[in-house]
């Protein structure tokens, strides 16, 4: 999948989104902006939790319990 360079710019009337140098304006009222910001926060928290889970799972595999009996 090809990822296009983009930039999201918060503004006092919504957001400006630049994709491959093409600027698009998305008008938003304050409630829409807060909903958008809240969703971004929720997703970021989900990402952090998943990264921590993956880190913990990786560390579990590195723990040495001791010599194997046998």
Number of domains in the chain: 1
**For residue 65, is it within any domain?**
no
Q: Which domain holds residue 51?
A: 6-60
- Residue 12 forms part of a structural domain: yes
Per DSSP, which regions of 1-70 are E strands? 6-11, 14-19, 22-27
pLDDT at res. 60: 72
Q: For residue 69, tell me if it sits in a domain.
A: no
Q: Does 1 reside within a domain? A: no
CA–CA separation, 32 and 38 (whole Å) = 10
What does the pLDDT look like over 23-56, one tens digit per residue? 999 999 999 999 999 999 999 999 999 999 999 8
* pLDDT of 4 higher than 90: no
């Amino acid at each position: 999948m090809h990822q296009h360079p983009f930039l999201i710019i918060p503004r006092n009337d919504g957001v400006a989104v630049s994709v491959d140098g093409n600027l698009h304006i998305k008008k938003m009222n304050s409630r829409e902006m807060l909903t958008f910001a809240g969703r971004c926060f929720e997703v970021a928290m989900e990402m952090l939790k998943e990264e921590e889970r993956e880190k913990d799972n990786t560390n579990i595999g590195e723990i040495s319990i001791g010599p194997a009996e046998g």
